[in-house]
Amino acid sequence: MDEVTTTIAAPPDTVWALVTDITRMGEWSPENTGGRWSGGATGPAPGARFVGRNRNGWVRWSTHCRVVECAAPSRFAFTVAENAMTWGWRLEPVDGGTRLTQWRERTATPNVAVRALVASGLLGRDREQLMVDGMHRTVAAVKAAAER
């Protein structure tokens, strides 16, 4: 499991509104360009589905996600079908704000298409390190947005 944590000078409700708005994730993430709720979902809730849009250089792709945990304003997590990864956010109230942690954990072997794409190097030579670096950038961008 990989985790990145920061402390934000904003209340948990403010941070929660940012990290659960999948339509805006492209504002913080260096790879995700946003998403849209699908299957009748209109916002974060257990079982809600969404499609994420991503890009790395000229390579663009979509992911199919399902919310597996949604406990406002403290925990939000979703699975990504294509790469068998669960991504999540933990929010903890602290003096003067919120401790925010983004985490990710592989739950199974990704499908053959994802494995081939990663092996090709089109998504970066060291994909795992690229993802961790992206998490640091995402958390920093959420912090900046919440503290405005």
Give tens-digit pLDDT for 16-75.
Answer: 999 999 999 999 999 999 999 999 999 999 999 999 999 988 888 899 999 999 999 999
HSE, side-chain direction, 13 A CA sphere, residue 50 = 26
pLDDT at residue number 113: 66
Residue position matching structure tokens 């925990």: 75
DSSP codes, 24-54: GGGGT-SSEEEEEEETT--S--TT-EEEEEE
Domain extents in the chain: 2-146
Classify domain 2-146 at the CATH class level.
Answer: alpha beta
Which of 42, 36, 84, 86 is CA-nearest to residue 62? 36
pTM to 2 decimal places: 0.88
Report the distance separating Cα 108 and Cα 85, nearest Å. 7
Q: Count the helices and strands in the chain (H runs, E runs).
A: 3, 7
Residue position matching structure tokens 């990704």: 110
